[in-house]
Structure 1
Amino acid sequence: MTVRQIEKDGFPIIARIECLLSSDSDVGMAKTIGLATLSLADMLGGWRPDILLLIADRYEMLAPASVALALRIPIAHIEGGEVSQGAIDDAVRNALTKLAHIHFTSTPLARQRVIAMGEEPWRVHHAGAPSLDHLRRSKLYSREQLEQRLSLDLAQTTLLVAYHPVTIHRDTTDEADALFSALLQLSEQMVFVYPNSDAGSRSLIERTQRFAAESENIKLFVNLDAVTYWSLLGKVDMLIGNSSSGIMESASCALPTVNIGMRQQGRERPCNILDADASQKSILDAIHQAKSEAFRNCLHGMTNPYGSGHASEMIAAILATVPLERLLVKQPTPLIREIEAQ
Structure 2
Amino acid sequence: MKKLLYVTGSRAEYGIMKRLLLALKEDKEIDFTLVATGMHCDENYGNTYKVIEQDGFEIDKLININIDTSNNAKILQSMSICQSEFGQYFQDNKFDAVIILGDRYEIFSVAIAAAMHNLPIIHLHGGEKTLGNYDEFIRHSITKMSKLHLASTEEYRKRIIQMGEHPDTVFNVGALGAENAMLMDLPNKEALETRFGNFDKPYFMVVFHPETLSVTSVEVQFNELLLALDGFTGEYDFFFIGSNSDTGADKIKDKTLEFCAKTKSKYFTSVQPEEYLALNKYSQGLIGNSSSGLIEIPSLKIPTINIGDRQKGRVRGLSVIDVKCDRRSILDGIIKSKTNILNCNGDNPYYKKNVMSKITRLINSEIDKLSYNKDFYDNDGAM
**Are the structure 2 counterparts of residues 323 and 263 from structure 1 closer, same or farther at C-alpha, using a change threshold of 3 Å?**
closer
Q: Structure 1: which amino acid aligns with 2:323?
A: A
Q: Which of 277, 282, 289 is equivalent to 2:329?
A: 282
- TM normalised by structure 2 equals 0.82
2:120–2:370 Cα contact (<8 Å) kept: no
* Bigger mean CA deviation after superposition, 89-98 or 36-45: 36-45
- Inter-partner Cα distance in structure 1 for 2:142 and 2:230: 40
Other-structure match for 2:117: 71
- Structure 2 counterparts to residues 53-72 of structure 1, below 5 A: 53-72=99-118
State yes or no: 1:164 paired with 2:212: no
State yes or no: 1:112 paired with 2:164: no
**Are the structure 2 counterparts of residues 54 and 323 from structure 1 closer, same or farther at C-alpha, using a change threshold of 3 Å?**
closer
2:68–2:75 Cα contact (<8 Å) kept: no
- Structure 2 counterparts to residues 157-306 of structure 1, below 5 A: 157-169=202-214, 171-186=217-232, 187=234, 188-216=236-264, 218-295=265-342, 298-300=343-345, 302-306=346-350
- Inter-partner Cα distance in structure 1 for 2:246 and 2:375: 35
Other-structure match for 2:191: 145
**Are the structure 2 counterparts of residues 113 and 184 from structure 1 closer, same or farther at C-alpha, using a change threshold of 3 Å?**
same
Other-structure match for 2:375: 331
Name the Cα RMSD after superposition.
Answer: 1.8
SS of equivalent residue, structure 1 residue 191: strand
Task: Tell me the CA shift for residue 329 of structure 1.
Answer: 1.6
Q: Which of 9, 18, 23 is equivalent to 2:64?
A: 18
- Inter-partner Cα distance in structure 2 for 1:29 and 1:256: 33
1:165–1:173 Cα contact (<8 Å) kept: no
SS of equivalent residue, structure 2 residue 302: coil
Q: Structure 2: which amino acid aligns with 1:7?
A: E
State yes or no: 1:29 paired with 2:83: no
1:182–1:280 Cα contact (<8 Å) kept: yes
C-alpha offsets along residues 223-267 of structure 1, whole Å, 9 cap, x if unaligned?
222111100111001211111111111101011110001111111
Other-structure match for 2:144: 98
State yes or no: 1:81 paired with 2:163: no
- Inter-partner Cα distance in structure 1 for 2:135 and 2:367: 30
Task: Tell me the CA shift for residue 23 of structure 1.
Answer: 4.2
1:25–1:200 Cα contact (<8 Å) kept: yes
Q: Structure 1: which amino acid aligns with 2:87?
A: A
Any gaps of 5 or more consecutive residues in structure 2?
A: 1-10, 12-47
**Are the structure 2 counterparts of residues 312 and 24 from structure 1 closer, same or farther at C-alpha, using a change threshold of 3 Å?**
farther
**Are the structure 2 counterparts of residues 278 and 151 from structure 1 closer, same or farther at C-alpha, using a change threshold of 3 Å?**
same
Task: Tell me the CA shift for residue 138 of structure 1.
Answer: 2.5
- TM normalised by structure 1 equals 0.91
- Inter-partner Cα distance in structure 2 for 1:36 and 1:112: 31
C-alpha offsets along residues 128-169 of structure 1, whole Å, 9 cap, x if unaligned?
112234434422111111122111326x22111111111113
Q: Structure 2: which amino acid aligns with 1:276?
A: V
Other-structure match for 1:44: 90
**Are the structure 2 counterparts of residues 114 and 184 from structure 1 closer, same or farther at C-alpha, using a change threshold of 3 Å?**
same
Task: Tell me the CA shift for residue 20 of structure 1.
Answer: 3.0
User: What's the % identity of the aligned pairs?
Assistant: 29
Pairs aligned (count): 332
- Inter-partner Cα distance in structure 2 for 1:294 and 1:75: 43
